[in-house]
Amino acid sequence: MKKRLGPAERIYPMPVPIVVSGSMGEPRGFTSSWINAVASTPPTLVVGIRKSRASLEMILSTGEFTVNIPSPELVEEVDYFGTVSATKADKFALTGLTLMAGATVSAPIIAECRFALECKVTQTVEVGEYVVVFAQILETWADDEILDDDGNVDITALDPLVYIPGAREYHRLGGKVADAYSVGKRISERA
Amino acid sequence: MKKRLGPAERIYPMPVPIVVSGSMGEPRGFTSSWINAVASTPPTLVVGIRKSRASLEMILSTGEFTVNIPSPELVEEVDYFGTVSATKADKFALTGLTLMAGATVSAPIIAECRFALECKVTQTVEVGEYVVVFAQILETWADDEILDDDGNVDITALDPLVYIPGAREYHRLGGKVADAYSVGKRISERA
């Protein structure tokens, strides 16, 4: 039996990267679970940012940011970056996270994150108290240790943290269920 | 040591719901991993849809769709809905998925999915070969069996399927790492 729960912004699951803007000397960072790819021509992502976020002004003035995918050992840092404002604390100094220069943007990437993306803002759309920022993905980075022999990301080695809205929980990724573009053929073959 | 992999639309992890449009009599469905919430005033999500997708025309002409969160036992159906065009097959007939009327939109929801959202299109943005559809979330539905005593979604009972781009794998959600809005206080307390 299905029950109506009312309108709520719930997609299960969500990613939970740390978005970094600014520069090596003046970095800003916040955690976002409202982010995803939306197009591949060119590779584009969107991120919904509350207008009151200190990072938003930096992202819009520089037109650049990075997206840093954390693993479970960074869960305290992820939560801290999501709940404390950059106007109230030097978040990078307090966490001790290490910043590295990117290749195509001035915004730094977080060395402790095993996968990161460099992004350039292409347009913005206002939705109530939020700005949805569209950005082209200019570069991606992965740690040597998470690449397999073919140079592809080994998801078990990346071990991305997962966010569950509503319950407000961070989870690990679980085991593989099936290969995409493959397991559905069992249904096609019935036709 | 970090290595540059080039631009690619990779966020880890992604959700992988089935998006349904049309009506009980003429349903369309496709699987999307490029979807997420972006705002809460009002509750809003975006979904990036390739212009060649048969569902896009239906979504834009009716202005409505539903988002249906699948669990691992639906992995064959999820993959099939993501890889076969509605112009080539009656996907609902072949999978045998059960459609139910929604409450606020004409687009049906999938009974076998334990959580679903009803959405109304609010605006669209073109990005190359894609259309990014913005939609207001008008209602959410959950199976009785996945609600805890307080009426909240029990994520272990929902057991949402997770998508890994690049590797093109479906995974389960893993165990809880920590509570959000809580574990980061260990860092705030250092200040």
Mind listing the pLDDT tens digit for each residue in A92-134?
999 999 999 999 999 999 999 999 999 999 999 999 999 999 9
Q: Do B137 and A163 touch (CB under 8 A)?
A: no
Mutation site, B177, B181, B186, interface A, largest A CB count within 10 A: B177
Chain B residues with CB under 8 Å of A47 CB are 38
Q: What is the pLDDT of residue A74?
A: 98
pLDDT at A41 over 90: yes
Min Cα distance B65 → chain A (Å) is: 14
Question: Residue B61: how many CB atoms within 10 A of its CB?
Answer: 11
pLDDT at A88 over 80: no
Q: Do B47 and A35 touch (CB under 8 A)?
A: no
Nearest by CB to residue B141, choosing from A3, A41, A175, is A3
Query: Nearest residue on chain B to A69, judged by CA atoms?
Result: B12
Between B143 and A87, the more confident residue is B143
Strands A43-50 and A130-143: antiparallel
pLDDT at A57 over 90: yes
Q: CA–CA separation, A137 vs A119, rounded Å? A: 5
Rounded to two decimals, the pTM is 0.97
ipTM, interface predicted TM-score of the complex: 0.97
Nearest by CB to residue B12, choosing from A78, A158, A171, is A158
Query: Nearest residue on chain B to A160, judged by CA atoms?
Result: B12
pLDDT band of A87, cuts 50, 70, 90? confident
Strands B109-110 and A64-69: unpaired
Nearest by CB to residue B167, choosing from A155, A177, A190, is A155
For the record, the structure tokens of B26 come out as 């003429």
Min Cα distance B118 → chain A (Å) is: 8
Rounded (5°) CA angle B102-B108-B109:
80
Rounded (5°) CA angle A166-A54-A109:
85
Nearest by CB to residue A170, choosing from B3, B165, B178, is B178
DSSP A112: T
pLDDT, tens digit (0-9, with 9 covering 90-100), for B6-55 = 999 999 999 999 999 999 999 999 999 999 999 999 999 999 999 999 99
Chain A residues with CB under 8 Å of B15 CB are 11-14
Q: Do B175 and A179 touch (CB under 8 A)?
A: no
Q: CA–CA separation, A171 vs A162, rounded Å? A: 5
Q: What is the pLDDT of residue B88?
A: 76
pLDDT, tens digit (0-9, with 9 covering 90-100), for B82-127 = 999 877 778 999 999 999 999 999 999 999 999 999 999 999 999 9
In Å, what is the CA distance from B107 to each residue of B21, B63, B74, B100? Answer: 5, 10, 20, 9
Min Cα distance B146 → chain A (Å) is: 10
pLDDT, tens digit (0-9, with 9 covering 90-100), for A16-31 = 999 999 999 999 999 9
pLDDT band of B154, cuts 50, 70, 90? very high
Q: What is the pLDDT of residue B87?
A: 75
